[in-house]
Structure 1
Amino acid sequence: MSARRIFAGAALRELRRVSAFRQGGMAERLGISASYLSQLENDDRPLTPRLLARLASEFPLDWSEPASDARGTLAAALGEATADPLFDEPLPAETLIRIAEQQPALAQRFVALHDAYRRTGQRLEMIDEALTNDQGATRLPWEEVRDWFHFANNYIDPVDRAAEALAAQLARGTHSPGIDAIEDHLRGALSVSLLYAHNRGLREFDDSMRHLVIDPGLPVESRRFQLAHQLASLALRDEIAAVVETAHLRTAAARQLLFVGLSNYAAGALLMPYERFRHDARALRHDIDRLAQQFGTSFEQTCHRLSTLQRDGARGVPFFFCRVDMAGNITKRHSATRLQFARFGGACPLWIVHEAVAIPDRILVQLAETPDGLRYISMAKGLVKPSGRFDRIPRRYAVALGCETEHAHEFIYADGLDLASDQAATRIGASCRICPRDDCDQRAFPPSDRPIAVDPDRRGIVPYRIG
């Protein structure tokens, strides 16, 4: 079988420019000499299969395989699948390239099977946890919608692209549409009358009268988001309704909740348009405060949007995101990583997000390790959302955002962490009910799938031993 010669000098130079590398640093990252890299960039030498795999591995978000040859892309996907902790160790790059080249159909099926295996495992964990908590008989509408977003990978392409196109009309040369532009479009293009007045809700819309009331006591970022929600639900109604129609949810309440959720999704996509937001997030190394300043959004809105950047061909860093209230309940959750959240009850008490709830307006960072041996960098911040009046209690909660350690160079909050240290990582789990660790001092109750032994004459941290 003759090898195909792949010349990609222009693509390599662009990759180096985007990654802000000099030739020496780029060459070191790829494990080659600077003179060899210079030859590659000038199309004097072709890319080898080994280099294709290394580029896909080292620059998964920036490197695009030349259209003439997709072996490296398939090998990278195969490498990610075989790196699952299920297997003893990942396969070497040469083996992955050989399999992708000689057996591409088999490699594609293996990657597809691994993805199905991972998703099936997630579904089984949901079912096990639901049965353990006596909630397996039926899912509530909000649980059904939450799971729908999870298995859509929290990225809804037609809605996201429609919101991005609308933002381009309204942004007027800025990062994203301002309040004035949104108000003008509501009044002019959609014939909506707008009033800021104190009522019993954040937003109230009378569809028959085309009248919108917004609570003026909201912070400016929240007022802008509520306006964007209403604009999206009206201007993108057809796109949102089409997604709801194909979701096959069981109840009318679930379908209505999904419409609301998709309108919120569209509002975030309108205020933080995909390509511009993804570019700036990478440039700022996902510094939430700086991103929020640039796009005029809240800390929470910015974190949530980062967890949705999963567009094919232009993916962002795979993040997990969640919001936890004062009682430890997870009220929002999504993970584009292999970390999965408990669906019922609270999260692991060792996770730093719980400490963040008690310390508003301070960012905490944690290196955590899950029972499967994977390590994550978590950033958490406690937030207080003002009520706008004395007789209403402000809402207090914390948000967390994190990624696997392989993306540490993209995540500013990883700076200063010793990622290689065994002692530096906090050993966390999803929740006590499904965590297999038998040596945790913070365990609240035993795992549901293992027996316990009770010795009346011995007492440890908990009054039982896990079998």
Structure 2
Amino acid sequence: MAGKRRIFAGAQLRQLRETRGLKQSDLAGLLGISAPYLSQLESDDRPLNPALLERLSQQFPLDWPDLEADDMGRLAASLREALADPLFDGEIPADQLARMAEQQPLLAQRFVALHAAYRRSGQRLEMFDEALTADNVDGARLPWEEVRDWFHLANNYVDPLDRAAESLSRRLRRGAPSPDIAALESHLRNALSISLIYSSQSGLRTFDPEMGHLTVDPGQPTESQRFQLAHQLASLALHDEITAVVESARLRSAASRQLLFAGLCNYTAGALLMPYEEFRRTARELRHDIDQLAQQFGTSFEQTCHRLSTLQRDGARGVPFFFCRVDMAGNITKRHSATRLQFARFGGACPLWIVHEAVAIPDRILVQLAETPDGLRYVSMAKGLVKPSGSFTRAPRRYAVALGCETEHAGEFIYADGLDLASGRSATPIGVSCRICPRPDCDQRAFPPSDRAIEVDPDRRGVVPYGFS
């Protein structure tokens, strides 16, 4: 194509290869080219062609998007992501995707946009379905449901707040990975004129805006106290930025808007304590070892897991994780998925999922290789947690958190070590929930799928007393 910019990226290719500990022959084999050809690319004697850009993006999804690429390369990558939907069968070779992007760019752009609209429509249909079948009479979503869905549609990443928190964190942390309690207290007192009181008489955190008094319960773990300070600091220092996001959300009720403001303050507090670039870089170096990350950033296990699920910044994405929190009754009280796995919107999650066992076994990490009915496989880590109440009169909170990714990212996830990812029998067959799971032979099924007619044979009894068409 006339006027098309040629891309020479020898230094980036060499850095990528050395970072991954690959020989030229190894990387050449992954890219389907000869070692001499790779040598010429690394010496900038030859430019990268669209097919190679696509292969690099496919082989190194977390490294290559950070390198320079043209519009055609990005379009080919977007095509690949859209065509990875289980709706489509089989894979299209990288060179064909590159040719589609080059020869029919307008058609490719509209296909990508159409698929994105299809996904959004499906998500909204689930939301309306949930509202219509909920217990509330008018079928409208409750405030917390509306806010939960807003975060889901935002892909759990709010760019202006994340960047503002990262900038503020840079000023506070003084070369450390994360601002410590002293830095947060100092900024609250000196920059925002807030007086701090540590007392267990006013809940976990109470702020008096007229007097400028912030009261924090000292009975909380240190990382929880620190998060409460960060929440209030974000609420005050970045109030205008957070308010602008709330006003643009167009939520139905005042309660929804208030709840979104509080949720965005929590989001911004996490971004303040775990600033994006520093946290993303460290997470990759540690292969997403949650305990090590929590030690370095002074955060709790749950806070660290949650932050990993928000790393969705354009041009600097983290591993696409799903994250959830499940209580003792099996209720999913937090959830987000940057993967193709979607959580149950009705009732509990699949009983075969390891997170339910983790609730009963606190402070122990369980790992599972699971396969959903669409054939996708996920590496899942779950840990049971106990959050102390600070008093004998209040029971501690017991729950589990889970974090996982698709197996194509298993090399970046330390919890996948030791799992037999290639075996056809090593994966646990899970579903989203019994309500929509099509598996006919599951011994753990609680009730039949809602879209199938049940079949009862009075002369035959299995573990489940019915079959379905």
Q: What is the TM-score when the length of structure 1 is the normalising length?
A: 0.96
Q: Read off the aligned partner of 2:169 and give its amino acid letter.
A: A
**Counterpart in 1 of 2:36?**
35
**Counterpart in 2 of 1:61?**
62
- Counterpart-to-counterpart distance in 2, 1:347 and 1:225: 29
Contact 2:202 2:215 (C-alpha < 8 Å) held by counterparts: no
Identity %: 76
Q: Indicate yes or no: 2:277 matched with 1:275.
A: yes
- Counterpart-to-counterpart distance in 2, 1:143 and 1:385: 25
**Counterpart in 2 of 1:382?**
384
Q: Secondary structure at the match of 1:424?
A: coil
**Counterpart in 2 of 1:454?**
456
- Counterpart-to-counterpart distance in 1, 2:67 and 2:193: 48
Q: Read off the aligned partner of 2:62 and give its amino acid letter.
A: L
**Counterpart in 2 of 1:372?**
374
**Counterpart in 2 of 1:256?**
258
Residue of 339, 347, 350 corresponding to 1:348: 350
Q: Read off the aligned partner of 1:307 and give its amino acid letter.
A: S
Unaligned runs of at least 5 residues, structure 2: none
Contact 1:130 1:344 (C-alpha < 8 Å) held by counterparts: no
Deviations 1:224-278 (A, max 9, x none): 0001001000100000000000000001010000000000000000000000000
Deviations 1:177-200 (A, max 9, x none): 000000000011111110111125
Q: Secondary structure at the match of 2:77?
A: helix
Contact 1:197 1:216 (C-alpha < 8 Å) held by counterparts: yes
Deviations 1:199-231 (A, max 9, x none): 251111111111011111100010000010010
How big is the shift at 1:134? 4.8
Contact 1:65 1:73 (C-alpha < 8 Å) held by counterparts: no
**Counterpart in 1 of 2:160?**
158
**Counterpart in 2 of 1:410?**
412
Q: Indicate yes or no: 2:221 matched with 1:219.
A: yes
- Counterpart-to-counterpart distance in 2, 1:454 and 1:371: 24
Residue of 191, 203, 210 corresponding to 2:205: 203
Residue of 442, 446, 459 corresponding to 2:444: 442
Q: Secondary structure at the match of 1:289?
A: helix
**Counterpart in 2 of 1:187?**
189
Q: Secondary structure at the match of 2:363?
A: coil
- Counterpart-to-counterpart distance in 1, 2:270 and 2:330: 25
Change (3 A) 1:237 1:65: closer
How big is the shift at 1:458? 2.2
How big is the shift at 1:14? 2.9
- Counterpart-to-counterpart distance in 2, 1:109 and 1:413: 38
Contact 2:224 2:300 (C-alpha < 8 Å) held by counterparts: yes
Contact 1:129 1:433 (C-alpha < 8 Å) held by counterparts: no
- Counterpart-to-counterpart distance in 1, 2:9 and 2:338: 30
**Counterpart in 2 of 1:10?**
11
Q: Secondary structure at the match of 2:156?
A: coil
Residue of 169, 194, 205 corresponding to 1:167: 169
Q: Secondary structure at the match of 1:443?
A: coil
How big is the shift at 1:92? 1.4
- Counterpart-to-counterpart distance in 2, 1:164 and 1:460: 57
Residue of 232, 235, 245 corresponding to 2:234: 232
Alpha-carbon RMSD across the aligned residues, in angstroms, is 1.7
Unaligned runs of at least 5 residues, structure 1: none
Q: Read off the aligned partner of 1:36 and give its amino acid letter.
A: Y
Mean CA deviation greater in 455-464 or 273-282:
455-464
Q: Secondary structure at the match of 1:376?
A: strand
* Superposed structure 1 runs of 4+ greater than 6 Å apart: none
How big is the shift at 1:53? 1.3
Q: Read off the aligned partner of 2:31 and give its amino acid letter.
A: L
- Counterpart-to-counterpart distance in 2, 1:65 and 1:255: 35
**Counterpart in 2 of 1:396?**
398
- Counterpart-to-counterpart distance in 2, 1:273 and 1:375: 30
The residue correspondences of 1:112-191 to structure 2 (distance < 5 A) are 112-134=113-135, 137-191=139-193
How big is the shift at 1:121? 1.9
- Counterpart-to-counterpart distance in 2, 1:297 and 1:63: 29
How big is the shift at 1:466? 1.2
Contact 1:9 1:43 (C-alpha < 8 Å) held by counterparts: yes
Q: Secondary structure at the match of 1:218?
A: coil
Q: What is the TM-score when the length of structure 2 is the normalising length?
A: 0.96
Q: Read off the aligned partner of 1:109 and give its amino acid letter.
A: R
Q: Secondary structure at the match of 1:333?
A: strand
